[in-house]
Amino acid sequence: MTRHLLRDDDLSPAEQAEVLALAARMKADPFGEVVGKPLAGPRTVAMIFDKPTLRTQSSFAAGIAELGGNPLPINGDLAQIGVRESVEDVARVLGRQAAQIVWRTNDQSKLDAMAQWSGVPVINALSDDFHPCQLLADLLTITERKGRLAGLTATFVGDGACNMGNSWLIAGATAGMHVVVSSPQGYEPAAEMVARAQQIGEQTGGSARLEREVGAAVDGADVVITDTWVSMGKEGESQARLQALAPYALTSDLMGKAGADAIAMHCLPAYRGKEIDAELIDGPDSVVWDEAENRRHAQKAVMAWLQEQDGRSAS
Tell me if 232 contacts ligand CIR by CB under 6 A. yes
Tell me if 26 contacts ligand CIR by CB under 6 A. no
Please tell me the distance from the alpha carbon of residue 254 to that of residue 130, in angstroms, as a whole number. 26
Tell me if 228 contacts ligand CIR by CB under 6 A. yes
Say whether 104 is catalytic.
yes
Residue from the set 227, 275, 277, 310 that interacts with ligand CIR by CB under 6 A = 227
Residue from the set 3, 7, 55, 241 that interacts with ligand CIR by CB under 6 A = 55
- Residue 43 phi/psi, 5-degree rounding, is -85, 145
**Closer residue to ligand CIR, CB minimum distance, 43 or 131:** 131
Say if residues 16 and 132 touch (Cβ distance below 8 Å).
Answer: no
Tell me if 126 contacts ligand CIR by CB under 6 A. yes
Q: Looking at 227, 266, 277, 310, which residue is catalytic?
A: 227
Tell me if 242 contacts ligand CIR by CB under 6 A. no
Residue type, 4: H
Q: How far is the CB of 291 from ligand CIR (least distance, A)?
A: 8
Smallest Cα–Cα separation from 218: which of 252, 168, 254, 167? 254
**Closer residue to ligand CIR, CB minimum distance, 3 or 266:** 266
Q: How far is the CB of 232 from ligand CIR (least distance, A)?
A: 4
Q: How far is the CB of 245 from ligand CIR (least distance, A)?
A: 12
Q: Residue count at the site for ligand CIR (CB under 6 A)?
A: 14
Please tell me the distance from the alpha carbon of residue 226 to that of residue 160, in angstroms, as a whole number. 9
**Closer residue to ligand CIR, CB minimum distance, 115 or 288:** 288
Tell me if 267 contacts ligand CIR by CB under 6 A. yes
Tell me if 61 contacts ligand CIR by CB under 6 A. no
Closest-approach residue to ligand CIR (CB): 231
Report the run of H or E that residue 76 belongs to, with start and end.
helix 76-79
Torsion of CA 18, 24, 27, 33, to 10 degrees: -60
Pairing of the two strands 44-49 and 263-266 = unpaired
Tell me if 81 contacts ligand CIR by CB under 6 A. no
Residue from the set 231, 286, 294, 307 that interacts with ligand CIR by CB under 6 A = 231
Please tell me the distance from the alpha carbon of residue 85 to that of residue 304, in angstroms, as a whole number. 30
Residues 6+ apart with CB under 8 A from 47: 57, 60, 61, 64, 71, 72, 73, 74, 102, 103, 125
Please tell me the distance from the alpha carbon of residue 30 to that of residue 53, in angstroms, as a whole number. 23
Q: How far is the CB of 260 from ligand CIR (least distance, A)?
A: 28
By CB under 6 A, name the binding residues for ligand CIR.
Answer: 55-56, 126, 131, 134, 162-164, 227-228, 231-232, 267-268
